[in-house]
Amino acid sequence: MTATVPILDGHNDTLTKIFAEGGCGMEGFLRGCEEADIDLPRARAGGLAAGFFAIYIRSTDPKPEEEPARDAQGGWTFTPPAIDPAWARAETSRLLDCFDALLAAAPDDIACCRTVEDVRSVIDGTRLGIILHLEGCEMISPDLRELDALYARGVRSLGPVWSRPNCFGHGIRFGWPSSNDIGPGLTAAGKALVRACNDRGILIDLSHLNFKGFMDVADISDAPLVATHCGCHALAESARNLTDEQLGVIAASGGLVGCNFFTGDLRGDGRFESDMPLTRMAEHIEHLVEVMGEQHVALGSDFDGADMCDEMQDVSRLPAITALLRGRGWSTEALTRLCHGNWLRVLDATWPDASQSMSPA
Ligand code: ZN
């Protein structure tokens, strides 16, 4: 057996899950938390070295999220409503406080990655690296007044929108089968947010943007373009997936796509069921490679935010995908690029040098 390659994963919603009311909290995360896809013991077992951990703000609607109604052909759409920015700010602040408490409780086990050096140190070391990401920026005002305080607290990545409208743009609503060319692009505030991220070296995630919003970021941003968790529209006509045209734009910018693990975006029949063979995920990864080249492809699980297939039920199963790809002829070099090498290159080109960083130690 060849040693497993350390993985930098592009997206999870674990902080939101464990720190939700009734979630297993800090102790659960450190010792083991059955209801979450990621906890520290299983992250170690699965070779997860680092990940983008999202601050994702749930809707205040108390109804549990259900699968949407389907038409006779199995098609469906789901349009999440906008949320109150005041609620988003309060919840962001609470989640960041929870995260700080987690870091303080387990400094030998968890690291907040603020620089590329921090990320390299966890890939070569034993701590789990957490890169803070905002999935939807409802906590930021149109004049961006909260952005620097969020940066100071460790945020190094953001998606202007989740799949709902806010002051920065219109997130792509969910749906299958569906184009992603729905709705207008970024607002003036959204365009200013992209420039402000470039100025500070904050990574911008394209994952929940519609086509016009995606192209607005591509036009404005001077950083490599990144979609942290998406699949291929050519293989599955989910509104959340990227067309080959979009993949070409990302590759030309020197960026990357983290292949999403969500069954609803991978299967191709628009269903969420877990009885999807892991080979389907490999097919999406290999399509990304075919269109963009292997230096532009990474992993973006969406653990704790989406339905996973039977063979990838939690983070401890990550070695199953690298073993499968190895069996399909992937070299150790190619797997290393997929698992973290491409991320390091993109972060090097996006985040400021540590020497110029304004982040506190
Ligand atoms: Zn997402």
Q: Which one of 3.20.20.140, 3.40.1080.10, 3.40.640.10, 3.30.1330.90 gives the CATH number of domain 7-60+78-350?
A: 3.20.20.140
| Token pair listed for 302 | 């969406």
Tell how far the Cα of 201 is from the centroid of ligand 1, in angstroms: 21
- Of the pLDDT bands very low, low, confident and very high (cuts 50, 70, 90), residue 360 is very low
Tell how far the Cα of 190 is from the centroid of ligand 1, in angstroms: 18
Tell how far the Cα of 11 is from the centroid of ligand 1, in angstroms: 7
Would you state the pLDDT for residue 1? 45
Tell how far the Cα of 162 is from the centroid of ligand 1, in angstroms: 7
Residue 183 in this model has a pLDDT that exceeds 60: yes
pTM across the whole model: 0.96
Tell how far the Cα of 136 is from the centroid of ligand 1, in angstroms: 9
Tell how far the Cα of 355 is from the centroid of ligand 1, in angstroms: 32
In angstroms, the Cα distances linking 40 to 110, 112, 312, 318 are: 9, 14, 17, 14
Q: Which residue type sits at 39?
A: D
pLDDT digits (tens, 9 = 90+) for 298-333: 999 999 999 999 999 999 999 999 999 999 999 999
Tell how far the Cα of 23 is from the centroid of ligand 1, in angstroms: 19
pLDDT digits (tens, 9 = 90+) for 47-89: 999 999 999 999 886 555 666 888 998 899 999 999 999 999 9
Tell how far the Cα of 195 is from the centroid of ligand 1, in angstroms: 22
Tell how far the Cα of 209 is from the centroid of ligand 1, in angstroms: 10
pLDDT digits (tens, 9 = 90+) for 130-168: 999 999 999 999 999 999 999 999 999 999 999 999 999
Give the orientation angle of helix 211-220 with respect to helix 188-200, to 10 degrees: 40
- Of the pLDDT bands very low, low, confident and very high (cuts 50, 70, 90), residue 355 is low
- Quickly tell me which residue has 């020197």 as its tokens: 254
Tell how far the Cα of 1 is from the centroid of ligand 1, in angstroms: 34
* Beta strands, E only, 31-126: 48-56, 76-78, 110-112
Give the orientation angle of helix 116-123 with respect to helix 342-350, to 10 degrees: 160
Domain extent listing, the chain: 7-60+78-350
Would you state the pLDDT for residue 248? 98
Pair 56, 158: CB distance under 8 Å: no
CA angle 3, 102, 64 (to 5 degrees): 90
Residue 238 backbone class (left: φ over 0; alpha: ψ -120 to 50; beta: rest): beta
Mean pLDDT over residues 268-292, rounded? 97
Nearest to 272 by CA among 286, 287, 259, 262: 262
Pair 54, 321: CB distance under 8 Å: no
**Mean of the per-residue pLDDT values of the chain:** 95
Tell how far the Cα of 3 is from the centroid of ligand 1, in angstroms: 30
All residues at 6 or more sequence positions from 319 whose CB lies less than 8 Å from its CB, including other chains: 4, 46, 47
Nearest to 96 by CA among 36, 56, 148: 56
